[in-house]
Chains A and B, each alone.
Chain A
Amino acid sequence: MNALELSDVRKVYTMGDGSEVVALDHATLTIGSDEMVALVGPSGSGKTTLCSIAGGILRATEGRVVVAGEDISGYSEKDLTRFRQRMVGFVFQSVNLVPFLTARENLLVVDELGQRRGKAAQQRADELLDELGLADRAKNLPSQLSGGQRQRVAIGRALMNDPKLVLFDEPTSALDTKLGEQVMDLIRTEMKNRGTAAIVVTHDERILHYCDRSVHITDGVLAA
């Protein structure tokens, strides 16, 4: 089963003056169940819009969106909220950990907001922290962690709900080259070990080789 199927997806924003801006124009994209795809394009090209639609944050104006066999095109806000809890993981550009929670609690927040699996979730958080080399940092607050460590916590958080698709929004933009490569290495290892599909939004050409393929987007139009 494919992790993502976008068929003829359009996203049109209506501006204050009534004019329309096409952010995504008839995008069609298929991502295999364990494929890692880099989404490359200049700012304002529609990367974020595509990512948000694939992750169930935005609704497409037209077209069909299927994530791991689940057609979310007609979902309401509520349905999308539940869908996000179950199916997708996000790693945001500025990491965005909750500042007053420890590394471990930042992972568990996903469970508290969603399914509430209790003990099983705690076990999973500990396993993930261990895998990500953060076992001894579990009780540290984000302010006590380095940039790379914070990014790893964010990756752990994205994997907490065992997602079918993980969306990485510029995961290396705040890191230097060496740290960026380490983080991409880690992302690739984690994704491949789990067989989880990923979209990595970036405009950093240096990290493309970590992905299975790249998709370019310009003015809302996809080009493989």
Chain B
Amino acid sequence: MKLALREMRRRPSRFVTATVILSLIAALLMLLGGLLDGLIQSSTGALRAQQAQAVVYSSTSQASLVRSRIDPDVRQAVEQIPGVTAVGGLGSAQLGARVPGNGPRDLADVALFGYELPPEGVPDPPAAGQAYADEILKADGVTEGMTIQLGPARTPVEIVGFVRDTTYNGQGSLWASAATWRSVLAANRPDAQLAEGVFQALIVQGDADIAGRIDEATGGATESLTVTEAVNAIPGVREQQSTFNQIIGVTIVIALVVIALFFALLTVERSGMYGVLKALGARSGTLFSGVVVQAVVVTAIASVLAAVLMVVLDAIIPPGSIPLQITPVRIVLSAVLLLLAAIAGCLFSLRRVLRVDPASAIGTTV
């Protein structure tokens, strides 16, 4: 092992190519992961922020807010379940918003939520005609105190403050009272307007296992999910995850192949030296662990370089332009996956190391 590390210190130039290529692959891996995290984050914020043990949809809605309807009698049934401490209605409307100062066709995409139980970081519902806006709407020119107009009916809503990480389907969210939401819906989506007391979903606080009991109590009229389940059930979330994870998987395979080829070549080049060392009493295991150590060091350096690159990239990309989310968890996860690929890649050299014959050191001029 000492020998392997010394070789890297004394002959760094031999490892530069592999380190550069692996740094680029590591950066690609972290970028893909960051984009996935960013996309998922921008699609799911409104539900992730919910402080609830269950999100209740109507049973036929397939966990879609737009399709779901919860009538007052169902709500009443839920409220009476032992272990339920609070129930709040939730409704949404996805609309275009006219922002003063922007062109007439330059609409900001917004998702207006009417709520009763405030999500994390959102204050209690504001007065009628007012809303809190997600801070990503600042990129569309929205400011505090501004009145924006929603939908074809141009319903005015005054922005009274900003909240963070509550986006929905990539759109900036607006958080308003149930009454404001209902009136905006009635004015702009007459086909989808809902009667007083009817919501799209219920946010339920109570015992940790309450989700399972709600559907029983409502006689199958509802489909109750935990917040995590509800987040994953948002249309498109699973598809995005599986697409990105497949690309990430292919990238890891490429890293594995690069490492396998590089160290297989180094091993072929070193077979003369390995023969001598074996004749001097080196075990194959010792020599092979040297290869693994070198691969791990190269990969670790590449991961650090890529992580630095990602942090810089994250800093220079203007907020709201690309949904890139660089987190320590994603960087560490990418590095660990690459290290595993590096070790697996080395296994291709194992047979070659084992096959080096100490007898090759004698009687040859290699």
Question: What count of chain B residues pass the 8 Å CB interface test?
Answer: 25
- The residues of A that contact B365 with a CB separation of less than 8 Å are 93-94
For window 97-149 of chain A, which residues contact chain B by CB distance below 8 Å?
98-101, 105, 109-110, 112-114, 141
Indicate if the CB atoms of A112 and B362 lie closer than 8 Å: no
Indicate if the CB atoms of A90 and B280 lie closer than 8 Å: yes
Give the total number of A-B pairs whose CB atoms are below 8 A apart.
84
Indicate if the CB atoms of A94 and B362 lie closer than 8 Å: no
Indicate if the CB atoms of B281 and A100 lie closer than 8 Å: no
Q: 1/0 per position for A51-66, CB-CB distance to B under 8 A?
A: 1100101100000000
For window 154-179 of chain A, which residues contact chain B by CB distance below 8 Å?
157, 161, 167, 169
Q: Does A85 contact B (CB under 8 A)?
A: yes
Q: 1/0 per position for B260-271, CB-CB distance to A under 8 A?
A: 000000000000
One of A47, A96, A112, A167 near B2 (C-beta < 8 A): A112
Query: Residue on A with the closest CB to B286?
Result: A113
Indicate if the CB atoms of B362 and A90 lie closer than 8 Å: yes
Indicate if the CB atoms of B362 and A92 lie closer than 8 Å: yes
Rounded to whole Å, the gap between the CB of A137 and the closest CB of chain B is 17
Rounded to whole Å, the gap between the CB of B47 and the closest CB of chain A is 57
Residues of A within 8 A of B (CB): 47-48, 51-52, 55, 57-58, 78, 81-82, 84-86, 90, 92-94, 96, 98-101, 105, 109-110, 112-114, 141, 157, 161, 167, 169, 201
Residues of B within 8 A of A (CB): 2-3, 6-7, 10-11, 272-273, 276-283, 286, 358-359, 361-366
CB<8 Å pairs between A and B, sample of 23:
A48-B362, A52-B359, A57-B361, A58-B359, A81-B278, A81-B282, A90-B362, A92-B276, A92-B362, A93-B364, A94-B365, A96-B366, A98-B273, A101-B10, A109-B3, A109-B277, A110-B280, A112-B2, A113-B280, A141-B10, A161-B281, A167-B362, A201-B363
